Every structure is written in C-alpha cells, then in structure tokens.
C-alpha cells in the first residue's frame, strides 16, 4: 500500500529534495508550508503555519509518516510541539537536527544569543522523542549553501570579520537522500550524524569564497566570548568520524561561480 507522507517545510532547501525523492520512491507526498503552491509535480501542497497552528490539524490528517524539515532560527521547539500534538495518525516522525546540538553549552545569555540555535535544536529533539510517536532524528552539519550565504554576507564588509571555529559543510541533496531513506524505514531513534567530507577553519571557508568570486579583502579574526563559542572553536559542530558526505566545498564553489 502507498505510504502517506507529510513533509513539513517541503518547499525549503532541504524539504524540497526530500519531497521529490519520496515521490520518486512511490510515496503519496504532501508538503506543508505557510505559502500555498500549485500542485504540479506529483506532490500535494497544503498551507499551514506551525507558529499559529492554523491548518496543521488538516495537514497532518492521514499522514502515517512525517518528515519534519520546517525550521528557522527561532521557535522550532514550540512549532514542533504544535506539530506532534496534531499528528494523531502518524506512526513515525523523522526530524532533521544539527551536528553538535548536544555539545554547544547554553550557560550564559551570550551563549544563547550567539549559539542559541543549537539549544533550540536539542529542545526540539526532546519534543520529538517525547511525542509518543516512533521517531528518527538525523543531525546534519551546515549545508554548503548556508556557508555560501554566510560568506557572501560577510564579504560585503571592507574588512571581513571571521569568528574562529571549524565547520564540515555537507551537500543538502545528500542529506535529503538520507532523510528520504530514513522516512521509508522504521523508527530508529538518534541515527549517526551526517557531515561533509572535509573540516575547514572558518577563515579558510571565507578566503576560498573570496578567491572563487574574485574579491580581495583582509580578514579580521573575531574572538567570540562565552562557553558556546569556546566549544565551537574546539570542534563541537564537526563530526570527524561521520565525514560521509561526498561533495566538497571546492566542488560546490566551482559549480557556483
């Protein structure tokens, strides 16, 4: 029988290729996001807002599996609570979280201001674990496209501020492939992390971006305060043992410019 799958955030960077892969695998796929889309690609689109709860009961009705890719920099814990309380028919929820969610301390206001995203993702994981629905969580490292976006924004400054830290960016379509595979399997709990093939200091990512786009800028190392920043400098958001991604930053840059 065809499995009915709801992909939250299925119009986003990760959710879109997840929805496409599940459709290609023969699932009946519905995408939830705040903005309605035309149903033209074999995927159903439904509008709903996880922040207000509007449309969420209807979107989750009949969904056996939920792939939860809707996320932003704030409020994911509450949005996920809204989702799981509405999801009465679901037997499996697959969540994407972030590498280091449990390794970036959230002790001070500075930690929460600079790196509160990691605390939010950990709290979101807990909501899923305690939902009563079978669950699978995949922690992925930063997508290559996100590094590009951040580098481009920083490169607008005449002197480019570079916070110390190491990153291991991963190709989003590879993460999508894995998310789809997990959604088609059984609930598996916290599965091994997924990170890209290479670990780079932040300064190296920025300078290779600048060379690729033909800009010359001096870099200014910025020592960020707090325990979270210290953890990031020490490698909390990389997973050297889980360098399973294939596409490198250099390949991504070559294709982009």
Ligand X SMILES: NC(=O)c1ccc[n+]([C@@H]2O[C@H](COP(=O)([O-])OP(=O)(O)OC[C@H]3O[C@@H](n4cnc5c(N)ncnc54)[C@H](OP(=O)(O)O)[C@@H]3O)[C@@H](O)[C@H]2O)c1
Binding site residues, ligand X, CB under 6 A? 8-9, 11-15, 32-35, 48-51, 69-72, 79, 96, 98, 140, 142-143, 146
Between residues 72 and 108, which has the closer beta carbon with respect to ligand X?
72
140, 144, 230, 245, 246 from 252: Cα distances, Å: 17, 7, 28, 12, 11
Between residues 48 and 226, which has the closer beta carbon with respect to ligand X?
48
Between residues 120 and 133, which has the closer beta carbon with respect to ligand X?
120
Q: Which has the closest alpha carbon to 183: 50, 49, 83, 90?
A: 90
Q: How far, rounded to the nearest angstrom, does the alpha carbon of residue 247 sit from its chain's CA centroid?
A: 17
Tokens of 187: 């609930």
Least distance CB 1 / ligand X (angstroms): 28
53, 71, 87, 183, 191 from 81: Cα distances, Å: 10, 13, 10, 20, 21
| CA angle at 18 for the pair 130 and 9, rounded to the nearest 5° | 60
Beta bridge partners, 98, equal: 140
Least distance CB 118 / ligand X (angstroms): 10
Between residues 9 and 165, which has the closer beta carbon with respect to ligand X?
9
Per DSSP, the chain holds a count of helices (H) and strands (E) of 9, 11
Cβ partners under 8 Å of residue 153, min gap 6:
none
Least distance CB 136 / ligand X (angstroms): 14
Tokens of 203: 């300064």
- Rounded to whole angstroms, the Cα distance separating 60 from 63 reads 5
Between residues 85 and 217, which has the closer beta carbon with respect to ligand X?
85
Between residues 106 and 217, which has the closer beta carbon with respect to ligand X?
106
Tokens of 69: 């890719």
Between residues 136 and 142, which has the closer beta carbon with respect to ligand X?
142
């Amino acid at each position: 029988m065809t499995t009915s799958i709801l992909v939250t955030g299925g119009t986003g960077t990760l959710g879109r290729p997840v929805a496409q892969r599940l459709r290609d695998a023969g699932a009946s796929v519905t995408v939830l996001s705040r903005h309605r889309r035309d149903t033209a690609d074999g995927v159903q689109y439904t509008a709903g807002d996880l922040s207000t709860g509007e449309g969420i009961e209807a979107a989750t009705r009949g969904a056996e599996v939920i792939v939860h890719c809707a996320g932003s920099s704030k409020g994911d814990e509450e949005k996920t609570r809204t989702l799981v309380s509405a999801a009465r028919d679901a037997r499996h929820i697959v969540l994407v979280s972030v590498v280091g969610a449990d390794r970036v301390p959230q002790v001070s206001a500075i930690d929460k201001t600079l790196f509160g995203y990691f605390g939010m993702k950990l709290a979101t994981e807990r909501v899923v674990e305690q939902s009563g629905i079978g669950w699978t969580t995949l922690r992925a490292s930063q997508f290559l496209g996100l590094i590009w976006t951040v580098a481009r924004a920083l490169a607008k400054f005449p002197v480019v501020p570079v916070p110390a830290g190491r990153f291991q960016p991963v190709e989003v379509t590879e993460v999508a492939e894995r998310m789809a595979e997990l959604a088609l399997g059984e609930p598996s709990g916290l599965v091994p992390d997924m990170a890209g093939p290479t670990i780079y200091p932040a300064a190296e990512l920025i300078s290779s971006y600048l060379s690729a786009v033909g800009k010359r800028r001096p870099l200014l190392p910025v020592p960020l305060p707090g325990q979270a920043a210290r953890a990031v400098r020490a490698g909390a958001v990389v997973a050297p043992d889980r360098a399973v991604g294939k596409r490198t930053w250099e390949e991504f840059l070559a294709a982009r410019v």
